[in-house]
Structure 1
Amino acid sequence: MSLIKVANLTFAYEGSYDNIFEQVSFQIDTDWKLGFIGRNGRGKTTFLHLLQGKYAYSGSISTSVGFEYFPYQVANQASNTIDVLESICPDFLQWELLRELNLLDVAEDVLYRPFNTLSDGERTKVLLAALFLKENSFLLIDEPTNHLDMHARKLVSDYLKSKQGFILVSHDRAFLDNCIDHILSINKTNIEIQKGNFSSWWLNKERQDNFELAENRRLKKDIRRLTHAARLVSGWSDKVEKTKTSGRKMSGIKPDKGYIGHKAAKMMARAKNIENRQQAAIAEKAKLLKNIESADKLKMSPLQYHTGRLAELANISIYYHDRTACTGVSFTIEQGDRIALCGKNGAGKSSILKLICGDQIDYTGSFRKGSRLKISYVAQDTSFLRGNLTDYAAAVGINETLFMTNLRKLDFPRVQFEKDISTFSGGQKKKVLIAKSLSEQAHLYIWDEPLNYIDVLSRIQIEELLLEYRPTILFVEHDQAFNENIATKYIQV
């Protein structure tokens, strides 16, 4: 066991006026299994890069261990997998590698196949095996679950549960709950560490938020009362002061200016005292709500279809020129359904979604879709996104103000609005597609892995939205908690 000590860490990217971290201090035990969470753009990956010494910063990071970062960059993807692993970890022992692959349910024959022929899940597992062959290193694991199906996520989570000494960036709640013992969270104003898993952290956060909101209501009430009292006392003071030269002169009696002045001064002092108490209450209020994620609720405009049934698939098989994507798929989409399309990677889920959306796909079987059915689609791929947000909104025919409002509610920084979308992070690109979909009026929403790279708090926001508006939606998603909370029907491919 050793410690990683972070003291007064301050960092901003070159050319930026805003610090990502400011005077941050904490320490980590290298035996911990840390889940690293926070909104997209808060600096999780940046912090992992700072630990590796990739950027200059002020403050200090001290430790006696080295760091290894996942995912590894594979320069020559046409190489056999065994050669890729040797370039990452030249001194590994064969039996140790086979032990790790066995734990990850990866067959030995993948070692002798070109790396670029492996599935996304196989690549993730192979590179994780290489990562855990590194000795005397603290491991930085950045979003390993993206593109893993639900079965693979459970397997990788169980694998990490048997290890120790890592920081894991993941937005999958069930995945985190299974394999971590501490939470490292980047909040709005600080970084904090708690013992436990995501669920225990979330419960504590809800309790703290509720306490701060109750205190906030109490202080607002006090401030209103004190403001009213200050106005009354100030008014009385002014009236008393005016009597030095007004009404009583008219009666021919000379006013006692000393007495009146003394009385006015006392009232002025009382008014000042009330004002000071008011300012103290305001200062105390400012300390509250510092980490409450106060984004407004998302909104959408689902349309009612004129009949109960929107689409029907019967014994559908989809073919590509070199393979069969899926066979014998049958289901109907009824008004109000929230359907989770499930299956392993490569099972043809995305092909089914594209067929329903109207793409030209070779298939057999019967497919019927309602006339004038309006569909809003969120693609799995985001690589086509480029240009500025204003032009994108115009190109897809949505209201720009509504689109930007949806992005802001998803904690999208205003500074990003002027940048090219191609420079956005993976999570921010996904939020662009979701905000676009929420800005569209549709009978049917079709979302293909919408939550890839999206932070946990935004996932919960989206869940609350879908449960409130209850749109008809067909989706592919490997987040177990999301599926359990949202789906009214499961279709296995």
Structure 2
Amino acid sequence: MSLINVTNVTFAYEGSYDNIFENVSFQIDTDWKLGFTGRNGRGKTTFLNLLLGKYEYNGQISASVEFDYFPFHVEHMDYHTIDVVGEIYPDYVHWELMRELSLLKVEEDVLYRPFGSLSNGEQTKVMLAALFLKENRFLLIDEPTNHLDMEGRKLVSTYLRGKSGFILVSHDRAFLDNCVDHILSINRANIEIQKGNFTDWRINKEQQDQYELAENDRLKKDMKRLAEAAKRTSSWSDAVEKTKNGTLNSGSKVDKGYVGHKAAKMMKRSKSLEQRQQSAMEEKSKLLKNVESSDSLKISQLPYHKSLLAELDGVSIFYGDKTVCSGISFTIEQGDRIALSGKNGSGKSSVIKLICGEDMSYTGTFRRGSQLRISYVSQDTSHLQGNLTDYAREHGIDESLFKAILRKLDFSRLQFEKDMSSFSGGQKKKVLIAKSLCEPAHLHIWDEPLNFIDVISRMQIEELLLEHEPTILFVEHDREFWAKMATKVVEL
């Protein structure tokens, strides 16, 4: 066991006015299985890069271990996988590699195929196996679930549960719960570490937030009551002071000493009330700094003139001579929330493209309602560049509504001035979702919408779909989202 010490670390990107981290200090035990969470754009990947020594910063990071980053950058995708493993870890022992691959259900023949020919899930598993072979290393695992289907996520989380000495960035709640024993969270105002899995952390966070909100309400009421009392006391004090130089109704002179003493007593009480007010204000100012805003979202779906929007009956889709999927039969009716399920490569994206109207080679019967308007969120965000104002204009959506939705999804106003190409993966995905929520449509089709999206935003999207019950077809590998949302499951 050894410690990674982070002491008074402050960091900002060159040319930026805002610090990403400011005087951050904490310790990490190198035996921990550490889940790393926080809203998009808070600096999770930046912190991993600081550990890797990629940026200059103020403060100190000390560790007796070396750090490795996942995903490993593979320069030669045409090399055989076994040679790529040799690039990751030249001193690997073959039987140890086979043991790790066996735990991840990866067949040995994968090693003798070009790395680029492997599926994203296979590449993820091979890289993890090779990196965990290294000794005296602390592994920084950055969002491995984005390329894993539901079965792959379960397998990899079980594999990680048997390991120790890593930081895992993931927004998949079930995945984190299965394999971590501590949570490192980047909050609005600080960074904290807590023992337990993600659910433990979330319950504690909600209890703390509820306590702070209740305290905030109590102090607001106290401050109002104290202000009114101070105002009354001050008025009484002034009134009494004015009688010093007057006479009583009986004509006798006022006892100035008594009146002065009474006025001074009232003034003292007024000062005491002011101090209590100030104390309450200071106490209140310490609250709510880490309470996350999660305003509810809205979706305005157009009503369609028929209950049936689309139908597939015995559909098989082809790319050239290759059959991508076959025998697909299901209907999309108003109010359906359909989860399109299946392993990576089973044809989910091809089915989506067909329904969206792309020119696909297929057999069987496919019917789509006339004048059906579809709003589509793709997996790919690489095309996003330029500013948000131009993007809204280009897609014919209401700019103020678009930006209001992004604000609810935790975009700062400063973010609106940046080029979209500089956004984090989660922020780019939020742009696509916000656009989709602005588009008038009869049917929403979302292909892996939650990749890179932070947990709080996932829960906002869940609440949106449960409250407004739009007609939606989606592909998603987050088990909790899938289980809550789907009214119908189509298994490929």
The structural deviation recorded for 1:241 is 4.3
TM-score (norm 1): 0.95
1:96 corresponding residue in structure 2: 96
Pairing 1:7-156 to 2, within 5 Å after superposition: 7-156=7-156
CA distance in 1, matches of 2:401, 2:380: 23
1:428 maps to a residue whose letter is: Q
Pairing 1:275-294 to 2, within 5 Å after superposition: 275-294=274-293
Pairing 1:91-490 to 2, within 5 Å after superposition: 91-243=91-243, 260-490=259-489
Distance 1:251 1:377, change over 3 A: farther
1:381 maps to a residue whose letter is: D
Cα distance per residue 1:171-206 (max 9 Å; x no partner):
111111111111111111121112211111111111
CA distance in 2, matches of 1:26, 1:198: 19
Distance 1:244 1:394, change over 3 A: farther
Cα distance per residue 1:440-472 (max 9 Å; x no partner):
232211100000011111111111111111111
CA distance in 2, matches of 1:434, 1:111: 38
Cα distance per residue 1:293-337 (max 9 Å; x no partner):
123222221233232222111111111125222111111112111
CA distance in 2, matches of 1:406, 1:421: 16
The structural deviation recorded for 1:231 is 2.2
CA distance in 1, matches of 2:414, 2:425: 17
| Alpha carbons 2:316, 2:362 under 8 Å: kept | yes
Distance 1:236 1:443, change over 3 A: farther
The structural deviation recorded for 1:218 is 1.2
Cα distance per residue 1:107-126 (max 9 Å; x no partner):
21222222111111111111
1:13 maps to a residue whose letter is: Y
The structural deviation recorded for 1:44 is 1.0
CA distance in 2, matches of 1:437, 1:242: 69
Q: Secondary structure at the match of 1:145?
A: helix
CA distance in 2, matches of 1:474, 1:174: 22
Cα distance per residue 1:382-407 (max 9 Å; x no partner):
11111100000111111111111111
1:206 maps to a residue whose letter is: E
CA distance in 2, matches of 1:257, 1:117: 99
The structural deviation recorded for 1:249 is 11
CA distance in 2, matches of 1:323, 1:244: 103
CA distance in 2, matches of 1:380, 1:9: 35
Q: Between 130-139 and 12-21, report the one with greater CA deviation.
A: 12-21
Q: Secondary structure at the match of 2:225?
A: helix
The structural deviation recorded for 1:422 is 1.4
2:2 corresponding residue in structure 1: 2
Distance 1:190 1:322, change over 3 A: farther
1:191 maps to a residue whose letter is: I
Cα distance per residue 1:48-94 (max 9 Å; x no partner):
11112222222222221111111111112122222211111111111
| Alpha carbons 2:462, 2:485 under 8 Å: kept | yes
The structural deviation recorded for 1:238 is 3.7
CA distance in 2, matches of 1:258, 1:296: 60
| Alpha carbons 2:138, 2:166 under 8 Å: kept | yes
Coordinate RMSD, CA, aligned: 2.0
Cα distance per residue 1:200-233 (max 9 Å; x no partner):
1111111111122221221111111112212222
The structural deviation recorded for 1:20 is 1.6
CA distance in 1, matches of 2:349, 2:249: 92
CA distance in 2, matches of 1:337, 1:270: 66
2:332 maps to a residue whose letter is: I
Q: Between 76-85 and 156-165, report the one with greater CA deviation.
A: 76-85
Cα distance per residue 1:386-433 (max 9 Å; x no partner):
110000011111111111111111111222111111121111100000
Q: Between 259-268 and 208-217, report the one with greater CA deviation.
A: 259-268
CA distance in 2, matches of 1:226, 1:296: 32
CA distance in 2, matches of 1:475, 1:254: 89
CA distance in 2, matches of 1:402, 1:244: 64
Q: Between 258-267 and 220-229, report the one with greater CA deviation.
A: 258-267
The structural deviation recorded for 1:259 is 5.3
CA distance in 1, matches of 2:250, 2:472: 83
2:234 maps to a residue whose letter is: S
Q: Between 201-210 and 429-438, report the one with greater CA deviation.
A: 201-210
Distance 1:383 1:240, change over 3 A: same
Structure 2 portions without partners, runs of 5+? none
Structure 1 portions without partners, runs of 5+? none
1:407 maps to a residue whose letter is: L
CA distance in 1, matches of 2:381, 2:163: 33
CA distance in 2, matches of 1:183, 1:248: 73
Distance 1:272 1:308, change over 3 A: same
The structural deviation recorded for 1:236 is 2.9
CA distance in 2, matches of 1:74, 1:63: 26
| Alpha carbons 2:234, 2:270 under 8 Å: kept | yes
The structural deviation recorded for 1:163 is 1.0
